[in-house]
Structure 1
Amino acid sequence: MRLRVEFTTEPFDLDEAPAHAVVARDIVTGAELDAVDVGPFGNTAEGEAEQVLGAVADLLRGSLEAGATRVSLQVNVIAAAAAPEGSET
């Protein structure tokens, strides 16, 4: 199963990335995930379920320990890529 996670950490600071945001960014960019997109107002990443769920657990722990007062996230199941014609799934 493939998953997409979208998340933000708070409180926001538009002048400088807070420690909790840096920790969360480092966790998702360091995980074995696909299509990681990190931005100032939201972050997304995709990957296999085990990798996404592991990264979510790590980013929750890490960002809360680094001072986040709120972490908002959404996890969606995404359609698996179609297997090439003639291959077995």
Structure 2
Amino acid sequence: MRLRVEFTTEPFDLDEAPAHAVVAREVIEAADLDAVDVGPFGNTAEGGADAVLSALGDVLRRTLGAGATRISLQVNVVEEGER
């Protein structure tokens, strides 16, 4: 099964990326995922279910530890041929 995850961490800072946003980017870019898109207001990644769920666990633990006060996420099953 393939999954696509979209998530944001808060609070936002428009002047400088907060520590929790930097940590989220580092975790998601280091994970064994493909189709990674990291942006200022949200992040998207896709991959096998085990890789996505493992990365999400790391994102949640590490961003909360780095000062995130809210993490919003959506996980979708990616159908064959969909991208």
SS in structure 1 at match of 2:50:
helix
Alpha-carbon distance in structure 2 between the residues aligned to 1:13 and 1:71: 15
The list of structure 1 runs, each at least 4 consecutive aligned residues, that deviate by more than 4 angstroms after superposition, is: none
**Following TM superposition, by how much is the alpha carbon of 1:6 offset from its aligned partner in structure 2, in angstroms?**
0.1
**Following TM superposition, by how much is the alpha carbon of 1:80 offset from its aligned partner in structure 2, in angstroms?**
2.6
Alpha-carbon distance in structure 2 between the residues aligned to 1:30 and 1:60: 15
- Indicate the percent of aligned positions where both proteins have the same amino acid: 74
Q: Look up the equivalent residue of 2:46 and give its one-letter code.
A: E
List runs of 5+ in structure 1 lacking aligned partners: 82-89
What is the TM-score when the length of structure 2 is the normalising length? 0.96
Alpha-carbon distance in structure 1 between the residues aligned to 2:26 and 2:80: 26
Alpha-carbon distance in structure 1 between the residues aligned to 2:80 and 2:33: 15
Give the count of matched residue pairs.
Answer: 82
What is the TM-score when the length of structure 1 is the normalising length? 0.89
Alpha-carbon distance in structure 1 between the residues aligned to 2:80 and 2:55: 20
Matched, 1:62 2:62: yes
Give the alignment of 1:1-89 within 5 angstroms. Answer: 1-81=1-81
SS in structure 1 at match of 2:12:
coil
SS in structure 2 at match of 1:51:
helix
List runs of 5+ in structure 2 lacking aligned partners: none
